[in-house]
Structure 1
């Protein structure tokens, strides 16, 4: 790991997938001749993976194992056996120590276990400073990752995109959940349906730039389509032949391919009814032409799930590059590889990659061989185009919703903001067992030194607009239930009108849900019991006595829950978005986004790019996370991230953050479409910038934040001096606050500012909501614009003098004040969000103004 610049102390907390992806990234960049020692501001890194990583499972088991050790101690005391009673406490501590040694424990576990740490580490290792994010959409993950990368390239936001996907077998959970859902057959020696592992990477670049730079081009992606048809009920693969055919027909027509014009199709390999529908659609599209050769990635490598799409893309691209049809399965057996003859009509060789997800998403790529052409004579320089004519269209927020501490909807959230008082209080005992996980003033790998949080009640029944049976609702993750309630609020504010056209559902959050981790812990109970059998403290007991003790502990701890057909849906991060799509019948592609604490703005950024490119007609985007839990509080305390009292952004006494639960979602349309549809326009999103500082996984960086801010301003006609209010990230750490204000000063400061920049942060009221933090900030800014009121900041007893706000100039108000508008201009705001791994996002917002 030394060659990737990873300190040993951080290497111990890394997920197993991370070094494999670093290797894949290095191989890919080296193959492209793109490994260099310099900084690269124009390369994005998009990583796709699904389900938990090994460090997530290990940390969850270590923390849950402490509760099991307590039951072992109580069971030993209950035996009444003198030796068991005498050694009960020793047995519990021995078990906890064993778990810590075997599972590992490090102050860096919270950062090391995050999926978004993987693209951040890749960005840092290779000096890639563009957008950095992780995405998940079950077995359509690769299609979604490619679509995000292509959108950024086509919008000119990046010059290159490194896309990596990976799937490792980190726990028996995934296999057991897929089997319970009927998506895997019972285990057997000749089972082609078994899950497999795989990691891979592709480097994408606009064709003109690749030709200009003399790059080796394996193939071109002529079209990329991802579609989803939301239907109520359990997640399932799409089995409609017509929907499969509509997608591939649209893709083929977009590139001018006639029936039979796509000679080779590489399928990711979904089995069952979905396979039959996919094959029937391919046959129908061929019509009277020669049917395509069909390869199946699953036949060669097994089902690599999140990685399957990149594996299939790589196969198809190599087939085009070598002009060879790969060996493939036929009705008569296996056909060997063969030369790929050029089409008689002079069109390029074409291949496709086709796949479907267990949530119902369909993906289809059309690839073409690269046929170099003679370089054209230099064209005359085009006439200058006024900057205003080149700016992207603003995106309208047409509805919104939120749920945070003591605020069950957005209206209550705004009342809380105006109150000037926080909602940070002791976390309930069912979330933080103080006997096990709280040690005030102590820095400990297994305990939190604070018990405060901005916790929010999780809905216990589905909203009226979502018809979900009780057993299915009970199987949902708490974050999914909260997001469903907020989505219902958003759609209710939209008036319950139908959303037509193609949509996107980008919900930010932790890519490892609590239900997924809990399922792993349940599957690991046998391992815990085996450890008890080997405890030195219990060696004096007979086998029967130890087994009796274990049985008592099992009954008290709770027997493991057996998975059902609903369990997988509640353990899937992208299941949050897929659940909303199904409950409300939305034809919107659902996926999860993780970009550390900048996740919500990353999700909104992907939505803006898709809307502006015309890929989608509407988007529901935002974030949700519930970090007021023993796991999050213990892991954050171990690194000293939490405040010993409460979060106080920009105060001289700031010493860390307080966690908070929350969710905020926003319904977005292009402004022109919102006007056409007669929608109420709450506000406009006008610019979005993103960067990676590529320096540190933990410490924030001024230059990286400045680059994100400045990129946002390339998309608007006004300058930073015209922005009235900044909804700051406001981590409440001395370093974080100082870096944020320094970066803000470089962009927003100066003599051109007509009046001080007003600054505030929602975090002092509801805590740091992690993946939902940017959503909390945007919701506060939108409601402030709507009320024409500058929202107050809270917990500012003494402003940190090191921030130098007077030099900017800037002000932080602690009471609500009227928000005046400059003559002839809309009120304007900005929202900042930064995350571990050097991930930076900045969003510009303004009132809708006559244009």
Structure 2
């Protein structure tokens, strides 16, 4: 097993070790109220106090999205991006805003005139809370159920039936509808749309980690660039007021305040702001070679997590905040005394602000308690004085502010400065007017830091340096120490060990039952319960419809009613969790208790990366309930017009609420936690005591492998010492079944991958999670190694959002093989994406033939977990990896289910390959371990391919 890291070695930066190569910021975009460019942004940051003419104001938290200067008045030319009219109406507004931000960022970097390594340029986007189309689609699907309860509450009166129908039509018209809604509402369609518009073929994913979202996006980009798997990364993050729910949920949790006072000693919260930002990142050596204009260099990027059970809340840990900052400085080999400006989180919450300032004061006082720099030598600020808290965008808003300060060599003012100064004994000051930024001592470059925090407990610290043109192409200072540059060789792709697994899919309550189902050769698909699909409202066999599903079959998984044993979670809080959160929490219990060592022994920083739909059902339902408050007014008017008295009208509304479960009670403080997709990962980290940064990853049906890729990247970069990764989704629900039916994606019968009768997929619920460590660390720790992840390749087709592309899929496979020291001919088994659509299956086999096709090789065996459990969307890759790992452990080629007649259009002979229908012994190849490939391909041309091999004695 090749490895550059000997057993027992840790990845903490050593003083005698060259720091990693800096990352250059070569392009920016800034779309905020009254701001349309980096130049506009810099002028806003240097203007007078908020509220003065031209200065901007953050005191607009209660302003509607269409207020002057907001994001609603930004016009985007849809035709510029080649978007078909049939798709344009189904697009979330955020898609358009992020497309525009991406275009402006690329133009700011000189493209298309300046070359861009398009084949190896990634797109990472970040959003938080639901998108407008997600809310609208949920409302349209719920309209029928609400109307039925109105008619029932009216007691069968003729006016009641008429009122119910009028309300249903009203809601459907308000929501709009298109057969493309399923694609248009997905968060991962945004990076896919950007990749397609600008022909970028790298990784494509969307992330969410509450208000650490864009910090996570930047950190992932840094890992990919330094690891050599990417040559450029476009990071875009945005926040809009998509509806009233986010602000009401923040207010219910006690976090919302009407104005911004980032450093107030008595601060009680923040206003939610709007904004979309973007940065284009490259390795410094690449940027210098390409002659790019460089705003600033990212030298260090550290993330830590404060794991505390219970409701989500910001960390008030002074030691952990300081340790996070120190880790960033150690990585960059830059002393704290060199920093001249710190862009703070400035939460506006008194306790958290005090912790932030105390941690920074400790950092800048030094070990002896004396200031690390001259008095007043460190200027503090927070962009929230101008923008409010732009949540998912907060990290990019802060990063671009600090980078512009370095680029312009100027220090921006802060409003309002705190009363009484900063009593922390550190060299801090705040500015009422902007100042020129002098060079550091002895001519050293200027340095800035960016500190951030998330309400789920994550802490972030970025260290930036000004760009000095006299740097060498290798990224080191002329005449100074060298840096570690990216190594694009097989030896650089360090193996990652799987040391624990957990899973729950249809008919399988744990990973052991999962394998027994697979080995049986019989699927677990069938009619879903009435509690999942109300057939009277949503089932219409044989018809394409915007309101009905033509199938009622799926792979249903019951959601746990109680928290896992050993966790102290109140019934109220557990009930407020999204169903996907509850399922993932239960599978995490299996994963961590099944691991030979207790979760508490997982030391060092970690990451919990969960593939997930970024718009959870709990949030959509809460948004619908809020929307129905307006409908109650319409219902009351209709009832009054029918002759009901005011008392009778109130009685009717009460009956509707009782039947439907609609609006009425104030929002619960627990609601916000259940609305966050990244909250699934945060729950696992917090409730099981893992010091692991949580993040949700959406890459359509490739979400699980995208999450694994993020985790593997963090392990290889040394920013995490362990990881929990996988995916979860409950695809058996009325909304998704209706939306997928409208596109004709679902099978009219059952999932039949590679069969001549294949006509689509059957939805399935599921969750699969994996505990990962670097291979050398797992061996040192004596872990049982269940399998070894050797390579993860990714690409985007950059062609169609819906139609699969063989060239794009083959590109992802080849990139996985670039990371290993063996070829496709030495892989025995392929766990295919295998959706069971005729075109999809044919294109996938074509792609497999292009990469795995080797004359004279032993036949490649191919299968798909979807034939047993259905298509579990974001969890699909986790089902595939779980099946491949268990097959390797059992030394058994797994059978497929529902294959009666092989599709003659599949050119299996070109590989050559077979699709087994019965379990068979899996012999090892001569002198090598058993190996498998795992594929996941998602809507939007998102492709991931993973290579996994058997662990033997570790002496290869």
Most deviating of 57-66 and 357-366: 57-66
Distance 2:577 2:735 in 1: 19
Q: How far did 1:23 drift?
A: 0.6
Are 1:215 and 2:319 matched, yes or no? no
Are 1:430 and 2:502 matched, yes or no? no
Distance 1:458 1:551 in 2: 29
SS across alignment from 1:797: coil
SS across alignment from 1:345: helix
1:708–1:188 distance in 2 versus 1, CA, 3 Å: closer
CA contact (8 A) 2:90 2:181 kept: yes
Are 1:35 and 2:99 matched, yes or no? no
State which of 490, 514, 532 in structure 1 corresponds to 2:635.
532
1:745–1:389 distance in 2 versus 1, CA, 3 Å: closer
Aligned partner of 2:571 in structure 1 is 470
Give the alignment's Cα RMSD to 1 decimal: 2.2
Are 1:108 and 2:180 matched, yes or no? yes
Aligned partner of 2:801 in structure 1 is 697
SS across alignment from 1:523: helix
Q: Residues 75-90 of structure 1: matches in 2 within 5 Å?
A: 75-78=153-156, 85-90=157-162
Aligned partner of 2:33 in structure 1 is none
Are 1:151 and 2:223 matched, yes or no? yes
Q: How far did 1:214 drift?
A: 0.8
CA contact (8 A) 1:192 1:302 kept: no
Distance 1:214 1:350 in 2: 22
1:636–1:140 distance in 2 versus 1, CA, 3 Å: same
State which of 891, 913, 919 in structure 2 corresponds to 1:788.
891
Instruction: String of CA shifts for 1:150-192, please: whole Å, max 9, x gaps.
Output: 1111111111100010011112211121122221247999997
Q: How far did 1:327 drift?
A: 1.3
CA contact (8 A) 1:53 1:113 kept: yes
CA contact (8 A) 2:831 2:863 kept: yes
Q: How far did 1:38 drift?
A: 9.0
1:411–1:436 distance in 2 versus 1, CA, 3 Å: same
Most deviating of 563-572 and 505-514: 563-572
Distance 2:249 2:654 in 1: 26
Distance 2:85 2:677 in 1: 30
CA contact (8 A) 2:701 2:874 kept: yes
Aligned partner of 1:399 in structure 2 is 500
1:538–1:811 distance in 2 versus 1, CA, 3 Å: farther
Q: How far did 1:608 drift?
A: 1.1
CA contact (8 A) 2:791 2:947 kept: yes
Most deviating of 728-737 and 327-336: 327-336
Aligned partner of 1:82 in structure 2 is none
Q: How far did 1:95 drift?
A: 2.1
State which of 363, 366, 371 in structure 1 corresponds to 2:463.
366
Aligned partner of 1:323 in structure 2 is 409
SS across alignment from 2:772: strand
1:195–1:54 distance in 2 versus 1, CA, 3 Å: same
Distance 1:792 1:344 in 2: 68
CA contact (8 A) 1:241 1:278 kept: yes
CA contact (8 A) 1:465 1:488 kept: no
Distance 2:170 2:400 in 1: 43
CA contact (8 A) 2:707 2:726 kept: yes
Structure 2 unmatched runs, 5+: 1-77, 262-266, 366-370, 420-429, 477-485
Most deviating of 286-295 and 824-833: 286-295
1:781–1:46 distance in 2 versus 1, CA, 3 Å: same
Aligned partner of 1:673 in structure 2 is 777
Distance 1:111 1:374 in 2: 45
Distance 2:388 2:487 in 1: 54
CA contact (8 A) 2:139 2:172 kept: no
1:543–1:201 distance in 2 versus 1, CA, 3 Å: farther
Q: Residues 539-578 of structure 1: matches in 2 within 5 Å?
A: 539-542=641-644, 544=646, 548-560=651-663, 561-578=665-682
Distance 2:767 2:185 in 1: 22
Aligned partner of 1:202 in structure 2 is 279
Q: How far did 1:584 drift?
A: 1.2
Q: Residues 127-206 of structure 1: matches in 2 within 5 Å?
A: 127-185=199-257, 193-206=270-283
State which of 768, 776, 784 in structure 1 corresponds to 2:879.
776
**TM-score for both structures, normalised by structure 2:** 0.85
Q: Residues 616-631 of structure 1: matches in 2 within 5 Å?
A: 616-631=720-735
1:315–1:254 distance in 2 versus 1, CA, 3 Å: same
1:178–1:802 distance in 2 versus 1, CA, 3 Å: same
CA contact (8 A) 1:465 1:584 kept: no
Aligned partner of 1:235 in structure 2 is 312
Q: Residues 438-453 of structure 1: matches in 2 within 5 Å?
A: 438-453=539-554
Q: How far did 1:344 drift?
A: 2.3
1:483–1:695 distance in 2 versus 1, CA, 3 Å: same
State which of 511, 517, 527 in structure 2 corresponds to 1:416.
517
Q: How far did 1:468 drift?
A: 1.8
1:377–1:222 distance in 2 versus 1, CA, 3 Å: closer
Q: How far did 1:618 drift?
A: 0.7
**TM-score for both structures, normalised by structure 1:** 0.95
CA contact (8 A) 1:764 1:793 kept: yes
Aligned partner of 1:93 in structure 2 is 165
Q: How far did 1:77 drift?
A: 3.8
Aligned partner of 2:133 in structure 1 is 55
Q: How many residues are paired up?
A: 838
Q: How far did 1:759 drift?
A: 0.4
Instruction: String of CA shifts for 1:262-284, please: whole Å, max 9, x gaps.
Output: 11111233122111100111122
Instruction: String of CA shifts for 1:46-86, please: whole Å, max 9, x gaps.
Output: 001111011111111121221111112223344xxxxxx33
Are 1:338 and 2:427 matched, yes or no? no
CA contact (8 A) 2:254 2:269 kept: no
1:682–1:211 distance in 2 versus 1, CA, 3 Å: same
Instruction: String of CA shifts for 1:313-362, please: whole Å, max 9, x gaps.
Output: 11110000000001124347961111001112222101111111001100
1:38–1:743 distance in 2 versus 1, CA, 3 Å: farther
Q: Residues 707-726 of structure 1: matches in 2 within 5 Å?
A: 707-726=811-830
Q: How far did 1:258 drift?
A: 3.0
Aligned partner of 1:280 in structure 2 is 358
Aligned partner of 2:935 in structure 1 is 832
SS across alignment from 1:41: helix
CA contact (8 A) 2:284 2:473 kept: no
Aligned partner of 2:712 in structure 1 is 608
CA contact (8 A) 1:391 1:717 kept: no
Distance 2:306 2:475 in 1: 46
Aligned partner of 1:382 in structure 2 is none
State which of 57, 72, 86 in structure 2 corresponds to 1:9.
86
SS across alignment from 2:905: helix
Q: How far did 1:235 drift?
A: 1.1
Aligned partner of 2:343 in structure 1 is 266
CA contact (8 A) 2:754 2:834 kept: yes
